[in-house]
């Protein structure tokens, strides 16, 4: 029986790992992206996120443009075998702000009806 054991890093170690390899990243950035989306994939061990080294490098390279001659130059595609327009084909990593707000309001138990009642009540004062 073969077991595939890969080293897993906590958030602080993952940020240090990326920074040592030239992809300067703060632990707070990884924490934010874990909540909002767009960060490297991770597993959870209890409440602790654990990152695989290969996933961290793949994420960092996917965010890298490749060599450029100016800020207006889109740069060569990064990664092996990538097409020049691979960055444009990639799904957007930025979450929609309306989705974030709606999710937060639902989590707080605020419905459109309760918002309307609160707005009406405060307008009458």
For residue 38, the model assigns a pLDDT of 93
Q: Give residues with Cβ within 8 angstroms of 66, minimum separation 6.
A: 75, 76, 77, 78
What average pLDDT does the segment 7-25 reach?
95
41-94 pLDDT, tens digit each? 999 999 999 999 999 999 999 998 888 888 888 877 655 444 444 444 445 566
Structure tokens at 3: 């077991």
Q: Compute the average pLDDT of residues 102-116.
A: 78
12 backbone dihedrals φ, ψ, rounded to 5°: -65, -45
Q: Is the pLDDT reported for residue 98 higher than 90?
A: no
Res. 112: pLDDT tops 60 = yes
Q: What ranges do the domains of the chain cover?
A: 7-66+88-93, 95-125
- Computed over every residue of the chain, the mean pLDDT equals 81
Two tokens, residue 115: 């918002």
> Looking at residue 92, what is its pLDDT?
58
**Predicted TM-score of the model (pTM):** 0.56
Distance of CA 19 to the CA centre of its chain: 17
Q: What is the mean pLDDT of residues 14-43?
A: 95
Q: HSE-up of 125 (CA within 13 Å, CB side)?
A: 6
């Amino acid at each position: 029986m073969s077991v595939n054991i890969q080293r897993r890093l906590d958030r602080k170690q993952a940020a240090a790992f990326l920074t040592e390899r030239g992809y300067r990243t703060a632990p707070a950035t990884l924490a934010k992206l874990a909540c909002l989306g767009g960060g490297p994939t991770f597993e959870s061990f209890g409440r602790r996120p654990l990152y695989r080294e290969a996933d961290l490098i793949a994420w960092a390279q996917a965010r890298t443009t490749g060599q450029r001659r100016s800020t207006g130059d889109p740069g060569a595609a990064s990664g092996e075998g990538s097409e020049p327009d691979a960055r444009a084909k990639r799904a957007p990593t930025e979450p929609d702000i309306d989705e974030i707000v709606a999710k937060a309001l639902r989590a707080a138990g605020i419905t459109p009806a309760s918002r309307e009642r609160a707005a009406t009540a405060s307008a009458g004062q």
